[in-house]
Amino acid sequence: MFEVQDKIVYPMHGAGVVEGIESLDLFDEGEQEYYKLNIVSENMEILIPTDRAEEFGIRPIVTPEVIDEMLEALHGEIGEMNPNWSKRYQANLEILKTGDIFKVADVVKNLTLLNRQKGLSTGEKKMMTSARGYLVSEMVLVLDITPEEATDMINKSIGEKAKKKKKKK
């Protein structure tokens, strides 16, 4: 169970803070306890039933060491992806729903590199931007940096080793 002021990640929305725990009677279901979450990247408040938080994939934010590992995972070349954009989109959507920082980072890396190579559909561009926002929001809370600094760190990390390989050829 989370406590007030705990920093959390809500998959598909990003990182946030537990602003409160309230007993409410919503949707004629009787009184239930809810986490009142403030999602920083979207400047939005969300109510989640406390007994369903795990089901929604809500997890604590990671450590600075995990952020370093995630940034390292952004290095390298594009991973294996379905060539059909609609199947690739669906696969990536399922990955984003997990909230796993390394899997989200992989989606960001692959879509960014694919966009550099041949461009993306409008839906995939939006997905890439949203996924990057999830990473940024968590980095902001974990490292106590600005969104611009987090975005810059991600941009510098993506494909870094792949660029070095090309220069050596």
Q: pLDDT tens for residues 72-86? A: 999 988 888 888 889
| Residue that the structure tokens 């991973």 belong to | 79
Verify that 81 and 138 share a domain, yes or no.
yes
pLDDT digits (tens, 9 = 90+) for 2-46: 999 999 999 988 999 999 999 988 777 788 999 999 998 778 999
Verify that 101 and 29 share a domain, yes or no.
no
Question: In sequence order, which residues have a C-beta less than 8 Å from that of residue 53 and are 6 or more positions away?
Answer: 1, 2, 35
Report the 10 Å Cβ neighbour count for 44.
12
Domain that holds residue 161: 64-168
Question: What is the pTM assigned to this prediction?
Answer: 0.87
Residue count of the chain, please give it: 169
Verify that 76 and 102 share a domain, yes or no.
yes
What torsion, rounded to 10 degrees, do the Cα atoms 49, 53, 54, 56 define? 100
| Residue that the structure tokens 């109510």 belong to | 47
Verify that 97 and 131 share a domain, yes or no.
yes
